Amino acid sequence: MSDHLSEDQFAKCIVGRSTRAELQHIRECPECSVELERFDKTLSLFRTAVRDRIDDRVALHPPDETPLRRREAGISTLRWAWVTAAIVALVIPLFMSEKKPQKVDEQLSTETNPVAIMDRVNLHLSRTVPAPMEPMMSLIPSDELISTPGGVR
């Protein structure tokens, strides 16, 4: 051991990792002992000051808004989100239903168009069977369909 503790040895002693030789030196060297005690006291003052400061703060300001209450606030926000989503879900079909009359209006407008009306009439007249019976025609095999004057045999 040299005359006094090195910086590393001093730090080890403060942290509580000193060896027997270092402890022996501290017991025998008044200078190192005083220096160690002074530094340790300074750290203790710092620790006490921080602790007292926080203790006073906690005593004066108890946790009036705990994380759980914030969590509850979060849940209410979630509730609001659900309500908004429900409203949107209800409103969208209303808009959709409002669009349907527009389609009817468009259909009416095509029916008032003379050209469109004539096309529909021609289509109707060119049918071999009445329109309501067309689905039934698909049930009959094509080779059984013989076009003869007088219709289907």
Partner 1 sequence: MKPSTTSGFIALNMGNPALEFEDFDRLVQQYRTRVLRFLFAFVGDMDLAETLTQDCFLNAYKSRGSFRGDCSVHTWLMRIAINLVRNHTRSRRFQFWRKARRVDSNEIHDWPDRGISPEDRTVVHEQVQEVWEAAKTLSEKQRTVFLLRFVEDLDIAEIAQSTRLTENAVNVHLFRAVRGIRKRLGKQK
Side chain identity at 84, as an amino acid letter? T
Alpha helices in 16-145 (DSSP H): 20-28, 30-60, 67-112, 114-125, 134-137
Q: Which is nearer to partner 1, 67 or 130 (CB)?
A: 67
Q: Using the rule CB under 8 A, which residue among 19, 27, 34, 70 binds partner 1?
A: 70
| 128: phi then psi, degrees, rounded to nearest 5 | -80, -30
Between CA 46 and CA 50 the distance in angstroms is 6
Q: Which is nearer to partner 1, 16 or 141 (CB)?
A: 16
Q: Using the rule CB under 8 A, which residue among 4, 47, 120, 124 binds partner 1?
A: 47
59-to-53, 62, 129 alpha-carbon distances in Å? 10, 6, 94
| 2: phi then psi, degrees, rounded to nearest 5 | -75, -165
Site for partner 1 in 86-125 (CB under 8 A): none
**Do the beta carbons of residue 10 and residue 36 sit within 8 Å?**
yes
Total residues contacting partner 1 (rule CB under 8 A)? Answer: 37
Q: Which stretch binds partner 1 (CB under 8 A): 59-67, 78-86, 103-111, 116-124?
A: 59-67
Q: Which is nearer to partner 1, 56 or 105 (CB)?
A: 56
Between CA 75 and CA 40 the distance in angstroms is 49
17 sits near partner 1 (criterion: CB under 8 A): yes
21 sits near partner 1 (criterion: CB under 8 A): no
13 sits near partner 1 (criterion: CB under 8 A): yes
Side chain identity at 21, as an amino acid letter? A
Q: Using the rule CB under 8 A, which residue among 4, 57, 124, 127 binds partner 1?
A: 57
Residues that bind partner 1 (CB under 8 A): 7-8, 10-18, 36, 39-40, 42-43, 45-47, 49-58, 61, 63, 65-68, 70-71
